[in-house]
Structure 1
Amino acid sequence: MYKIGIDVGGTNTDAILLDHNSQLIYSVKSPTSLDIKTGIEKSLQQLLEGANIDKTKITHAMLGTTQCTNAIVERKKLAKVGVIRLGYPATASVLPYTAWPADMIDKLSGNYAIAHGGYEYDGQLLSALDQQEITKLLEEWRGQVESIAIVGVFSSIKNDQELQVREWIQEVYGEEFPISCSSLIGSVGLIERENATILNAALCKVIETTTQGFVQALQAEGIFDVEVYLCQNDGTLMSIDYAKQFPILTIACGPTNSIRGASYLSQIQNTMVLDVGGTTSDIGVLQDGFPRESSVAVEVGDIRTNFRMPDIISVGLGGGSIVRVNGNIITVGPDSVGYKISEEALVFGGSTLTTTDIAVRLGLADVGDSTLVAHIDEAFAKAVQEEISSLLEQAIDKMKTSSEDVSLVLVGGGGIIVPEKIRGVSTIVKSEYGGVANAIGASIAQISGQYEQIYIYSKEPREESLKDAQNKAVKQAVLAGALEGTIELVEVEETPLAYHPENATRLKVKVVGKMV
């Protein structure tokens, strides 16, 4: 039995092969292609040629991809979205798409309606649904929208109205029509939850193309009977069908893969992780073997959202970062030669001074031809290294929860540029396979399920609420592809809502299980 893990980064696409004991058999690193699909196919081909194994014994294949993130940032390949907000007339003063970039609204069509429905903060009915109103709206939108986002006021307390509208849409548009319900995606906060739901709806075509491309790439190499998974941004996996429902959960899965891979390679459950790629460095925190989750609203493509995201700081510093001198001022990045490093860096015969060239000049790395950087003044190279240290120190300080020095696990192909000592860091842990930690993280991950809702303990006792939330989280994990008998509770988070008079609490439960 073998497992394949592939992670597509901005600079490199990494592919690894693990045996039944999760031991690394073979790994490859190749430049990420412009269309991404070609890079996956090339990495897969190199991996199977180098490993020389019986392909029929490959049972699982996992993919971590930046496709959804890129689609939002680049405003490409997005679906036309219709937004139905259930909250008329109470929410009419702040319309959907408020504070969105104009170019993004144009891409998504800007179709929206505020319909009757929604709840008060204590679960009381705001207004009843009107099926005729929804049906008329759907007839108007026919042919204009490719996906629909349903957003109910305080659906985080009661979501039956969202689910009812979903049924009505399926009756009119068919069972296969992509529909996103906000109660299953975002957290408390109408506008941020609505924004996350709209983005999720917009990604339906991107995720379809991505999953089909991955399956086709596997089949082209003669790999047919395998379980295929995509990586989520909490360091776990999900089935293709689940990913098609919640494509937004793939956003930022790259850094979380690296954090999970770092934990596996270092055998450390609680530490800080620095993942240095070709273009950026991502810093995250391991808590009990999983990435720490962000507690604040996160912007995705200049759009404020509140769905689950890892607590990550990204710095424009990588192995391909361009080094410049302006008078006495040295700058490193944030621009990078990216996947063209093997053509443009000095050590590979190019004409652009990069951080990799500095690392080779100082003897930190042995790549390319060191004679091509021998002319670089050593004092200058050390000054550049000081600038690199300063960038990393500032980012690490932002992630700390105390002033004490921290232990750091270093992974990523660009890790060669990191100095041996960084102020504020007590020890730096490295691994022989740190360069492909992201692909390892993708392949060793479990399946997760998460459920979040506001419960009113005065009406539904705490124990019953916990049991209900856990059961719903288990259902999510099973939908994502977990074996029901292996699912266990890993996290419970309770946040009392001070403004609520009846002891209301936001309850978030997370479970994980083994893959099928």
Structure 2
Amino acid sequence: MKRIGIDVGGTNTDAVLITGERVLSFIKQPTTADVMTGVVNAIKAVMAADPEPHIAIDAVMIGTTHFTNAVVERARLERAAAVRIAMPASASLPPMVDWPQDLFDAVAPLRFMVEGGHEYDGRPLVPFNREQMFDAAYQIRDAGITSVGITGLFSPLTAEGEAEAAAVIRTVIPDARITLSHTLGRIGLLERENVTMLNAALQGLGASTVDAFRKALVECGITARFYLTQNDGTVVLADVAAANPVYSFASGPTNSMRGAAFLTGRLDGMVVDVGGTTADIGYLQGGFPRQANNVVKVGGVRTLFRMPDLLPIALGGGTIINPETLAIGPRSVGYNLLRDAMVFGGSILTATDIAVAAGLAEIGDRDRVKGLDKALVDGALAGMRKLLEENVDRMKTSAEGTPLLAVGGGAFLIPDELRGCSEVVRVEHAGVANAIGAAMAQVSGEVDQVFSGLDRDAALAEAERLARAQAVAAGAGEETISVIDAEDIPIAYLPGKARRVRLRVVGDIDFGGK
């Protein structure tokens, strides 16, 4: 199958054209202020270099920072309504109480707290108050809001209250876009509510982004289905991704990790993806990124949902080096590297300039940095090595040496030897590993919820059924789906043999309906 993989980063937009396991063509170019223009240019460039133009494109996979950037920049967010079904509990902490004020103001939410929800053992806290819910729905409609996030107390145990609330809202606002918290988050109420509201505020952008990508592909003459990458190293049909844009958070680094696994054939090990602005450190387990099990902040908001365990550090090709103190970053010239770096005629000393001066990379005009003092170059290299070693050590789970897979456009900044690493693995096309990871991605389905009234085997079987259904809806071929990760934890304080089950499946893309 012939695919195009695209990864839009803060500094570069990368694209590859592959068939089977062969890379036919690839391109790395600066990200444009108008992201779509950069995507169109990248697609046209890899297609122009295609040695097999007579074979049609089967699919396009796109990794985008649109949704993360919208949260970080407090821009392009849709006004949303927050409905919490938990009263009389939790009255002292209203929805989004811990959001940064500027982000809260950008979303400008209407907030409602409705009687209902459930206890930790699945019993109703109080009866669901339909009258209150209808009143909230009318207020949401009158305010012109069409995006709603609904969070129920202990809804991962039983989603009954959220389903009732959604039915009421659809009665009043038929075209409402509704996010139900039990489909995204885990038990913690506030963190689950936070990611629900981030998703609700991004759904409008999700729809417009997918539409813009679709138009960009048409402009390039491509009619194949397209997918967006997710933060578990898989892809999902674009229209499905538009409804759950939060799953695209941190998808860029996970694309690189999947690309590293594909390029090296290694399924386990540390991965360092060095871009133009940052280096992301993660760990591969079975060919997929290790998942975070703790609270992850997105744009200053505490969340607890499916996210890769990543450690970003301020080290990239555009990282600014202070020539007097030898401080490494944290500021970067970003996508202005080709203008500001010394090797490109600029006046700002960057990590790329240091690497070129040391003979580690052949980029730009080396003559422009040959006069740099050797002590300055050696000191900067030592600072980068120390920064990498300290942070790689933070991500390790044992004292034993582990292989490190070096990828990204700035991979030349990683030394050939690092303390705590058994080896540093470099591969061809490492600079576009993110786009390769996107192009080679599979489709996933995941369940993370509490089951009660079922024995262990029945609970696992039901979780697998739900995960398989998700994968098929996201574009996987049903016969290719397999379970790659499953765990269950009995919850002793809940009745009815309650247990939390986390189960993930992956499958190959189904091209049959193309």
Q: By the TM > 0.5 criterion, same fold?
A: yes
The CA distance in 2 between the partners of 1:295 and 1:168, in whole Å, is 34
Paired position in structure 1 for 2:251: 253
Amino acid at match of 2:78: A
- C-alpha deviation, 1:502, in angstroms: 5.8
Paired position in structure 1 for 2:116: 117
Paired position in structure 2 for 1:91: 90
Amino acid at match of 1:461: D
Paired position in structure 2 for 1:321: 319
The within-5 A match list for 1:363-512 is: 363-456=359-452, 459-497=453-491, 499-500=493-494, 503-512=497-506
The CA distance in 2 between the partners of 1:464 and 1:423, in whole Å, is 47
- C-alpha deviation, 1:497, in angstroms: 3.3
- C-alpha deviation, 1:9, in angstroms: 0.6
Paired position in structure 1 for 2:227: 229
The within-5 A match list for 1:263-274 is: 263-274=261-272
Secondary structure class of the residue paired with 1:51: coil
Please say if residues 69 and 252 of structure 1, whose CA atoms lie closer than 8 Å, have aligned partners that are also in contact: yes
Out of 344, 351, 369, the position equivalent to 1:348 is 344
- C-alpha deviation, 1:426, in angstroms: 1.8
The CA distance in 1 between the partners of 2:301 and 2:54, in whole Å, is 43
Secondary structure class of the residue paired with 1:357: helix
- C-alpha deviation, 1:55, in angstroms: 6.8
Paired position in structure 2 for 1:307: 305
Secondary structure class of the residue paired with 1:420: coil
Secondary structure class of the residue paired with 1:113: strand
The within-5 A match list for 1:16-31 is: 16-19=16-19, 21-31=20-30
Please say if residues 55 and 223 of structure 1, whose CA atoms lie closer than 8 Å, have aligned partners that are also in contact: no
Please say if residues 231 and 250 of structure 2, whose CA atoms lie closer than 8 Å, have aligned partners that are also in contact: yes
Specify every segment of 5 or more residues in structure 2 that has no aligned partner in the other structure, as ranges.
Answer: none
Secondary structure class of the residue paired with 2:98: coil
- C-alpha deviation, 1:430, in angstroms: 0.5
**Cα deviation per residue 1:182-224 (whole Å; 9 max; x = unaligned)?**
0000011101000010001011122112211111111001112
Farther-moved stretch of structure 1 (96-105 vs 261-270): 96-105
Amino acid at match of 2:166: R
Paired position in structure 1 for 2:216: 217
* 1:135 maps onto 2:129 in alignment: no
Farther-moved stretch of structure 1 (429-438 vs 493-502): 493-502
Farther-moved stretch of structure 1 (469-478 vs 246-255): 469-478
The CA distance in 1 between the partners of 2:389 and 2:146, in whole Å, is 46
Paired position in structure 2 for 1:514: 508
Please say if residues 409 and 430 of structure 2, whose CA atoms lie closer than 8 Å, have aligned partners that are also in contact: yes
- C-alpha deviation, 1:460, in angstroms: 1.4
Call closer, same or farther: CA 1:133–1:5 in 2, change over 3 Å.
same
Question: Normalised by the size of structure 1, how large is the TM-score?
Answer: 0.96
- C-alpha deviation, 1:404, in angstroms: 1.7
Residue-pair matches, total: 509
What fraction of aligned residue pairs are identical, expressed as a percent? 42
**Cα deviation per residue 1:379-404 (whole Å; 9 max; x = unaligned)?**
22011000000110111010011112
The CA distance in 2 between the partners of 1:181 and 1:244, in whole Å, is 15
Amino acid at match of 1:515: I
- C-alpha deviation, 1:310, in angstroms: 0.1
Please say if residues 256 and 433 of structure 2, whose CA atoms lie closer than 8 Å, have aligned partners that are also in contact: yes
The CA distance in 2 between the partners of 1:263 and 1:32, in whole Å, is 25
* 1:194 maps onto 2:188 in alignment: no
**Cα deviation per residue 1:330-364 (whole Å; 9 max; x = unaligned)?**
11111111111111111111111111111111111
Secondary structure class of the residue paired with 2:327: strand
Secondary structure class of the residue paired with 2:504: strand
Secondary structure class of the residue paired with 1:330: coil
Paired position in structure 2 for 1:292: 290
Paired position in structure 2 for 1:59: 58
**Cα deviation per residue 1:438-487 (whole Å; 9 max; x = unaligned)?**
0000010110000111123xx31111111111111111111111112221
Secondary structure class of the residue paired with 1:506: strand
Paired position in structure 1 for 2:45: 46
The CA distance in 2 between the partners of 1:215 and 1:431, in whole Å, is 33
Farther-moved stretch of structure 1 (128-137 vs 349-358): 128-137
Q: Cα RMSD (Å) of the superposition?
A: 1.4
- C-alpha deviation, 1:495, in angstroms: 2.7
Farther-moved stretch of structure 1 (109-118 vs 305-314): 109-118
- C-alpha deviation, 1:94, in angstroms: 1.7
Please say if residues 55 and 222 of structure 1, whose CA atoms lie closer than 8 Å, have aligned partners that are also in contact: no
Question: Normalised by the size of structure 2, how large is the TM-score?
Answer: 0.97
The CA distance in 2 between the partners of 1:69 and 1:198, in whole Å, is 14
Please say if residues 56 and 223 of structure 1, whose CA atoms lie closer than 8 Å, have aligned partners that are also in contact: no
- C-alpha deviation, 1:137, in angstroms: 1.3
The CA distance in 1 between the partners of 2:243 and 2:51, in whole Å, is 36
